Amino acid sequence: MTNPPPASGASSGDLVKELTGLRGQVLGISESIVATTDGLLVASDTANVQPESLAALSAASLALGKRSAAEVGLGSLREVVTRCNGGYSVVLAVGEQALLVILGDEGLDLTALRREAPAVVERLGGLLS
Amino acid sequence: MSDGTQQQPHRASPRNVPGLLLSLQQDRFSGAVSIAGSIGGTIHLHRGTIRAIETPGAPTAEALLLKSRRIGEPEWDAACTAAGPDGPLDTTLVDQGHISAAELEIVCVGALYDAAFVMALSTPDSWQVDREAPTPRLSHREGTDPRRLTEETSRRVRLLAKSLGSVREFGQERVRPSARATAGIGRLSARYRDILLSADGRRSPRDIAFALGRGVYPVLLDISRMKALQLIHSRSPRSLRPPRPALRPATPAAEPAAPPRPPTGGGLPRRTPADRRPESTG
């Protein structure tokens, strides 16, 4: 996975294009954001959620997931999935300094998301580097 | 009867999913068929009849019940607990008085036909037959004849094609209300109003169905009628563009403490000591 050092030339439009593209590719994605691991919003494709709040909470949940994974010795963290009655929140690390958050409805195609996400994460990492 | 645990090859390799289902009906097959494709899913069969279909393309019976609020989340959770991991959830829901047996049956059959309709809108890449797949907790107990399901699915596609053209393409388009609909929304039926309020230009008919707890086919049917009345516009998902500036405040009225900074030249935004507010002294 690409580590995103401080960004030098990425356009926020390119980041959002990746997010909207992913929404078009995977059934059930409703909103998504890119944030830093310390919880600051970088880019968003949202309609209903507060992206700044989502960025802060998701950074905390990713950090908690990483610590938990390390504590229980189950290997490195792949994703943090929160399943609710009305849908899903999925948090994925983008290198060491950023993260991708995806919100989806009850029908979110997790199989397709897991197929498509690695390439998107890599491209986001490249845009942020 | 061919119920068993060993996987057996079928007489001839079916050319399509309806053919496969007919073949499985002849074998009185019990198990599941997993379909891979742009709209994949799992078809559950019992002795050759179809009991349920799970697909990301259409709401399940559970999603229909919860999202439409026919059953509340606490009641649902309580029924799941009472039924246990392998118990009859449908009977428990009825026994606890959350829904009548007839209504539950209608919802399960509706979800089944809706899922079949949605899956018919994509071409499957491959399929896999699995005798050991767990059955969904809510299903059409009697089971549906595959031929009848195929016929009804074809009828639905034909009906929609008359007004929408390619149903497959329209099913992926994003819809939004027209100016005419916005101006006269108060005079429309509650069903149309709900769809218009959900159609934000980001959602496809499938997304609206999930948001409202309705089937995709009935939503598409309503949208096709609303389109004829010029109440709704649609656009191809290929034209997806950022709906608004990416790095905007969440709400125009809100005053964000520190608006996010674009990663252009200055690196990723970072928290600095200046971002942290001094602790209150009371």
Q: Given this model, what pLDDT does residue B31 score?
A: 95
Nearest C-alpha in A relative to B265: A8
Q: Given this model, what pLDDT does residue B246 score?
A: 42
Whichever domain contains A96, its CATH number is: 3.30.450.30
Q: Given this model, what pLDDT does residue B239 score?
A: 54
- A42 vs B251: CB contact, 8 Å cut-off? no
Q: DSSP class of residue A80?
A: E
**And the tokens for A102?**
């995806």
| Chain A residues near residue B271 by CB distance under 8 angstroms | 38-40
Residues 186-215 of B with CB under 8 A from A: 200, 202-203, 206-207, 210-211
Distance (Å) from the alpha carbon of B266 to chain A's nearest alpha carbon: 6
Nearest C-alpha in A relative to B59: A107
Measure the CA–CA gap between B64 and B105, rounded to whole angstroms: 12
Size of the A and B interface in Cβ pairs below 8 Å: 125
Measure the CA–CA gap between B239 and B217, rounded to whole angstroms: 24
**And the tokens for B63?**
């999603």
Torsion angle (degrees, nearest 10) of CA B216, B217, B221, B223? 20
Residues 44-73 of B with CB under 8 A from A: 55-60, 62-63, 66-67, 73
Do B150 and B17 touch, CB atoms closer than 8 A? no
Q: DSSP for B162-173? A: HHHS-HHHHTTS
Mean pLDDT by 10 residues, chain B (282 residues): 41 81 95 93 96 96 94 94 91 96 96 97 92 90 95 96 88 90 87 94 95 96 93 75 44 45 62 63 42
Nearest C-alpha in A relative to B40: A109
Q: DSSP class of residue B237?
A: G
A-interface mutation test, from B214, B235, B268, B275, most A Cβ less than 10 A away: B268
CA A114 to chain centre: 12
Residues 40-79 of A with CB under 8 A from B: 40-47, 49-53, 55
| Backbone torsion region of residue B197, taken as left when φ is above 0, otherwise alpha when ψ lies between -120 and 50, otherwise beta | alpha
Residues 6+ apart with CB under 8 A from B99: B65, B70, B71, B93, B107
Beta bridge partners of A87: A84
Do B204 and B173 touch, CB atoms closer than 8 A? yes
Measured between alpha carbons, how far is residue A44 from residues B200, B223, B266 in Å?
16, 29, 18
Do B210 and A29 touch, CB atoms closer than 8 A? no
Q: A41-45, A99-103, B258-262: which range is least confident on average?
A: B258-262
Nearest C-alpha in B relative to A127: B263
Q: Given this model, what pLDDT does residue A3 score?
A: 38
- The candidate with the shortest Cα–Cα distance to B65, out of B57, B55, B73, is B73
Range list of β-strands (E), chain B: 31-37, 41-46, 49-54, 124-130, 174-177, 232-235
CA B246 to chain centre: 28
- Which pLDDT tens digit goes with each residue over A81-99? 999 989 999 999 999 999 9
Do B21 and B150 touch, CB atoms closer than 8 A? yes
What are the two backbone dihedrals, phi and then psi, of residue B265, each rounded to the nearest 5 degrees? 85, -30
Distance (Å) from the alpha carbon of A66 to chain B's nearest alpha carbon: 20
Total residues found in chain A within this entry: 129
B-interface mutation test, from A37, A106, A116, most B Cβ less than 10 A away: A106
Q: Which amino acid is at B7?
A: Q
Measure the CA–CA gap between B61 and B215, rounded to whole angstroms: 10
**CB distance from A116 to chain B under 8 Å?**
no
Range list of β-strands (E), B106-263: 124-130, 174-177, 232-235
| Chain A residues near residue B73 by CB distance under 8 angstroms | 85
Q: How many domains does chain A have?
A: 1
Distance (Å) from the alpha carbon of A106 to chain B's nearest alpha carbon: 7
Strand A80-84 and strand A87-94: the pairing is: antiparallel
Of A15, A21, A109, the CB nearest to B56: A109
Q: Given this model, what pLDDT does residue B5 score?
A: 38
Question: Is residue A5 domain-resident?
Answer: no
| Backbone torsion region of residue A75, taken as left when φ is above 0, otherwise alpha when ψ lies between -120 and 50, otherwise beta | left
Q: Is the pLDDT of residue A106 over 80?
A: yes
Structural domain for A23, as ranges: 12-128
DSSP reduced 3-state for B3: coil
ipTM of the complex: 0.87
- Give the confidence band of A26 by pLDDT, cuts at 50, 70, 90: very high
Domain B171-235 CATH assignment equals 1.10.10: yes
| Chain B residues near residue A112 by CB distance under 8 angstroms | 56
